[in-house]
Amino acid sequence: MSASADVEAIRARLRDELGTLVVDAPESVAFVYPSPYHTGMSSLGFQTLYRSVNQRAGRAAHRAFLPDDVAEARQSRAPLLTYEALRPVSSYSVLALSVAYELELAGVVECLELSGLPPLAEERDQRHPIVLAGGPLTFSNPLPLAPFVDVILMGEADETIHHALDIIFSAGDRDTVLRELADRIPSAFVPSLHGDAMPPVEKANDACLPAYSQILTPHTELREMFLVEPERGCHRGCEYCVMRRSTNDGMRTFDIDKVLSLVPEQARRVGLVGAATTDHPRIADLVEALADSGREVGLSSLRADRLNDRLCTALRRAGQTVLTTASDGASQRMRERIQRRAPESVLVSAAEFARAHGFKRLKLYMMLGLPGEEDEDVEELIEFSVRLSKIAPLSLGIAPFVAKRNTPLDGAGFAGIKLVDRRLDRLRKGVRGKVDVRGTSARWAWVEYVLAQGGQAEGRAVLDAVHNGGAFRAWKDAFDALPPERPTRALVRPGNRLGRALQVLG
């Protein structure tokens, strides 16, 4: 796409937005999302910080996104532009990245290069913007992001983003800025000063919460849906999850009148976002109030053990046609192993609720490849799924298990691409014609796993993978080329997780 076509595409999207903030201020920040617009605009954190920075006197946040067609953007050599100002990202003195998960690291490299910036922080100097980053990835393992950025704000950045910008815009030269960020913000990780030693995550003051959307647009995965969080975090203790109670003191719930007061009149669809929305003590009241006002409601997390007739009735009135929840382990034994509170009886009840309330289907998310999983667990899943499908039409969404840092299952190996594919095949055959099965790629789960368990060396390998086309083979070659003695935690711990990860391809 040429530069003029880029500009026209941006203008067309802006025309369809409601709530865009066009602020011109001396201290402006390029807010860059390393995935395309339709994904980035579904990020509640990105939208919330965009508003928060624009509301500060003298400061402006302008958005930019990974182009929809990166190969074409590279070929055209058109610079990455911000939406609000149509300015090249490289012309800003600060670039703020929001990174949700490991595979977006490729988008980080692409965005920096499309902006005309050296992707490695060590190759940038006084002429270049300060690149800061934050987002959900910081709750697990942002170490592979470290080679590309100057500072990472760990955890909830609702307040620290302002402290960081205050320092960046006032401290003078680059070295002074980085030193002051490291000295004055306890949750600021400055890789050039801290090495691999990451500080603890930040917890934002409750006064900053809840987060809510600023812009409504038809061009997102959650089309024209206003997002708001009735709660943040989770008090449960599932062993694989980064949102578990050990992160940020567990769950914080917000008053539903406050939540309702934030929903704008024109929003006809409302997404209730949070790790455990149905654990909010007044979730049924909230869904009912939104349904009463004629709105459609989506829930990001529905726990099967919280279902009851009242909540199901409210969800149906609010336009839900599919009852979606998670069981996560293939068998009762695996669910107990990961401390997932979803016994068979609760899942059978969920199917009965789906049938009784006229949902089109029950959708269950789960993982294959958990530590200790055997073929028998998959056989149990087949038998149980067929049983559930006799109560209500059933879909299974299957993701390979990826061990994350800051969870009790940190360090568990990847089950293996062949093994996960074989079990997924067996599952598909076992339930054929009775249950719909959607599985995510075991290959990309393995890439995610290496990055999730890796360090800065794995981060640098992202650069090679991107430069060699970004296909799976390029990632495998990039990881294979890493020196075995690289300084990752895996090498200093018994069991050498990365070594195991690299063997599982065979």
The contact set with ligand SF4 (CB under 6 A) reads 234, 236, 238, 241, 243-244, 275-276
Nearer to ligand SF4, 283 or 504 (CB): 283
Amino acid of residue 98 = S
Which residue, 431 or 452, is less far from ligand SF4 as judged by CB?
452
The residues near 128 (Cβ < 8 Å, ≥ 6 apart) are 90, 117, 118
Question: Which CA distances in Å does 258 have to 54, 211, 228, 255, 485?
Answer: 22, 11, 11, 5, 53
Q: How far is the CB of 323 from ligand SF4 (least distance, A)?
A: 17
Q: Minimum distance from CB of 275 to ligand SF4 (Å)? A: 4
Instruction: Name which of 233 and 459 has its Cβ closer to ligand SF4.
Output: 233
We find the least distance from the C-beta atom of residue 326 to ligand SF4, in angstroms, to be: 7
Least distance (Å) from ligand SF4 to the CB of residue 211? 16
Nearest to 162 by CA among 202, 213, 190: 202
User: In terms of CB distance, is 70 or 243 closer to ligand SF4?
Assistant: 243
Cβ-based neighbours of 54, under 8 Å, separated by 6 or more: 21, 23, 60, 61
Which one, 217 or 301, has the nearer CB to ligand SF4?
Answer: 301
Cross-strand pairs, 436: 395
Q: Report in angstroms how near the CB of residue 147 gets to ligand SF4 at its nearest.
A: 29
- What do you get for the CA distance between the two ends of the chain, in Å? 40
CB atoms within 10 A of CB 65: 25
Is 89 within 8 Å of 79 (Cβ atoms)?
A: yes
Cβ 276 to ligand SF4 shortest distance, Å:
5
**CB closer to ligand SF4 out of 275 and 420:** 275
Q: Which two tokens stand for residue 62?
A: 């302008």
Cβ-contact 274, 232 below 8 angstroms? yes
Distant-in-sequence, close-in-space partners of 30: CB < 8 Å, separation ≥ 6: 62, 64, 82, 87, 89, 92, 94, 95, 96, 129
CB of 230 to ligand SF4, least distance (A): 14
C-beta atoms surrounding 172 within 10 Å: 10
CB-wise, 104 or 279, nearer to ligand SF4? 279
State the nearest-atom distance from the C-beta of 301 to ligand SF4, in Å: 6
The nearer residue to ligand SF4, 335 or 460, going by C-beta atoms, is: 335
Q: With respect to ligand SF4, which residue has the nearer C-beta, 237 or 430?
A: 237
| Shortest reach from residue 341's CB to ligand SF4, in Å | 8
Cβ atoms < 10 Å from Cβ of 372: 11
> What are residue 459's phi and psi, to 5 degrees?
-60, -45
Q: Which two tokens stand for residue 309?
A: 């007739």
